[in-house]
Structure 1
Amino acid sequence: MTMLKRTLIAIPVLLGFGSATLPLADFPQADLSNGVIQTTLYLPDASQGYYQGTRFDWAGSFKNLDYKGHSFVEPWFENYDPKLHDAISGPAEEFVPLGYAEAQPAGTFVKIGVGVLRKPDEKPYAFSKYYEIANPGEWAIKKSRDQVDFSHKLNDATSGYGYVYQKTVKLTKDKPELVLEHRLKNTGKLPIETSTYNHNFFIIDKQPTGPTVNVQFPFEVKGEGKGFGTTIVAQGNKLAYSRDLDKKEQVYSAGLQGFGATSADYDIRIENQKTGAGVRIRGDKPLEKLVYWACSTTSCPEPYIRLSAAPGQEISWTITYEFYTKTP
């Protein structure tokens, strides 16, 4: 580990909530603008990348995103380490691992968008754990003014899994819109059966989690879990907070209920009612499940979709983010 890396790990991140400053480091990144939205992405790099954890997809880690003077993305966490599982902001995507249960200790399994990982023991998979990267795969990146194209090629002869994963992060011309386009081709010997979701780590205008944050769905929502019914309450098609969350406090539901079997219900809004800024999140696949998590800095609906690809098959899916303002 270099002296630079040791220095970075010791420095907490600036959240805009009164903590210390960001690490002063030149991480590989790309600035995008369509004249309406401005955003910066951190780029995949196994040794110098901002995000080197083994939980989330390395393609498209967001540094910031601004629209009409409103901010939507910034670090939501206090302490930073490049290998922390959740040291990532904005629309962060994760895939359920492939082949973990079948792998023996010291054997390998696969995380799409990360690489071939080493299974250390017989313990169940834990998303918060850092796993040794046995093979990071091959990344190719193409940048332009308003989009970045990522390609990740991976083959694991031990497990039998292989893929070509292509992801485009683009800003729609002349619109307040961000689009994530995905294509996944199964190049391995085994079928790919997995799920993926976006964690949606948004912070709108630095607003802490509380009554001014509104989360809305196109269906009557119901939820059970930590804080539900007290700190956070379902009101028709909305989730509303009864008070501000304390530092280190969390609410969580393993599965909100009420959505149907079509992609029409993959249509979620997060709004800052104090400033009038919001984001609308839409997907083109039906929801498999809908997890919800929040802490004192961010409120995160986590929409899951199911993915299946036979050997040789290519599948695709898209998530669209529309940013807007309205009178508070």
Structure 2
Amino acid sequence: MGYQLKNDHLIVDFAEQGFYQGKRFDWSGFITGVTLRQGNHSFCVPESLVPGLGTGGAGLCNEFGIADPIGYEDAKVGELFPKLGVGLLTRVDEEPYQFHKEYPLIPYRQEVTQESSSKLCFTVFPQECRGYAAQLEKQIHIEDNRLILDYTLHNEGSKTISTTEYNHNFLGIDQRGIGSGYTLKFPFELVPEVDEEGSMDSLLFQDSEVNWNDTQDSWFYFRLQGVGQANEPQGWIWDLYHHESRAGVREISIYPVDSIAVWGEKHVISPEIFIKLNVAPGDSYSWSRIYEFYTK
């Protein structure tokens, strides 16, 4: 059985250590469920509703280096490179790194301690790899209707750690399918960029909002310009609300936003807020994410 945090407002469920053994998402602090007691609203869904499909993501799980893996470019075929929060992967060919590829893995040693009914602490221990070594600490706690994730990355190697990190946020309020019942808001005017024509046909962009004109029947993905304005006085980065459930979740973190993307499917919406990490040898860097769950 996994871990759980509880207070008068929230119940937060975590995957059991070893439940997720994929090569993509951070194994530590893998949140599979959040319940808002007022109204008994749920927020977390799996990446895929079909067992065995996708990369195993669910709920609130983070990833390092989706497009800029540490040490991959200068690794030779057969050599190891680090995937923070996961372990040491083996480069298998001359192709560019692909986050969904099944690279051979040597997992990092991890520990978890529960300090109280409202706080968990996770530690991912370093393992030296061609000059790279980092200890990742993650403290997760709840205060009222807020879920707070505090990260600290200690660079214990001889090379600078330069990469990105984000939380995937696999969200579907009360298991409601994605469509006209949802509104996703950002604190700036939206200028979406799309990679594939037709992937946003059901989406409606107006000022700072994304709405849906019908039920979403396929995947969608877009990136947002204007991220330099993402930390304005509103105090939130994004806000997802379902009108019939009258429930929502917003991220109210304050940290330097490197980029923003939104991915989704028929059952899931994933706002992805990226932070850029540049940590010199011997240095540490800390950042936090704060989620607020609410009803209207």
TM norm. shorter chain > 0.5: yes
Counterparts of 2:76 and 2:236, CA distance in 1: 37
The aligned residue for residue 261 of structure 2 is 291
**Secondary structure in 2 matching 1:322:** strand
Match of 1:33 in 2: 6
Q: Does the alignment pair 1:168 with 2:136?
A: no
Q: How does 1:1-328 map to 2 (within 5 A)?
A: 28-44=1-17, 49-67=18-36, 68=38, 69-81=40-52, 86-96=55-65, 97-134=69-106, 136-143=107-114, 144-157=116-129, 159-172=130-143, 175-225=144-194, 226=196, 227=198, 230-246=201-217, 249-253=218-222, 255-260=223-228, 263-264=231-232, 267-326=237-296
- Aligned partner of 1:9 in structure 2 is none
Instruction: Name the Cα RMSD after superposition.
Output: 1.7
- 2:187·2:229 contact (CA, 8 Å) conserved in 1? no
Q: CA deviation at 1:64?
A: 1.5
- CA distance in 2 between counterparts of 1:109 and 1:266 reads 35
The answer to which structure, 1 or 2, has the higher relative contact order (CA under 8 A, 6+ apart) is 2
Q: Which runs of 5+ in 2 are unaligned?
A: none
Q: How far does residue 128 in structure 1 lie from its aligned partner after superposition?
A: 1.0
In 2, distance between residues paired with 1:42 and 1:269?
Answer: 25
Contact 1:62 1:90 in 2 (8 A): yes
What's the CA shift for 1:266?
Answer: 5.8
Q: TM-score, normalised by structure 1?
A: 0.83
Give the direction of change, closer, same or farther, for the CA distance of 1:266–1:288 in structure 2 (3 Å limit).
farther
Deviation at 1:113, TM superposition (A): 0.4
Letter in 1 for 2:216: L
Task: Indicate conservation of the 8 Å contact 1:261/1:287, yes or no.
Answer: no
Cα shift at 1:177: 0.6
Deviates more, 1:256-265 or 1:55-64: 256-265
Q: Please give the alpha-carbon distance, in whole angstroms, between the structure 2 residues aligned to 1:285 and 1:85.
A: 29
Distance 1:161 1:112 in 2: 10
Q: Name the count of aligned residue pairs.
A: 286
Residues 1:145 and 1:156: Cα distance change in structure 2 (over 3 Å): same
For residue 261 of structure 1, report the CA deviation from its aligned partner.
5.5
Map Cα deviations across residues 215-256 of structure 1 (whole Å, 9 max, x no partner): 00011111131446632121110011121112xx11111x21
Residue identity in the other structure for 1:43: E
Instruction: Output the TM-score relative to the length of structure 2.
Output: 0.92
Tell me the amino acid that sits aligned with residue 180 of structure 2. Answer: P
CA displacement at 1:43 relative to structure 2: 3.5
Deviations 1:49-108 (A, max 9, x none): 221111111112122211021111133422335xx7632211211100210111111101
Between the aligned residues of both structures, percent identity stands at 32
Unaligned runs of 5+ in 1: 1-27
Partner Cα distance (1:85, 1:122) in 2: 24
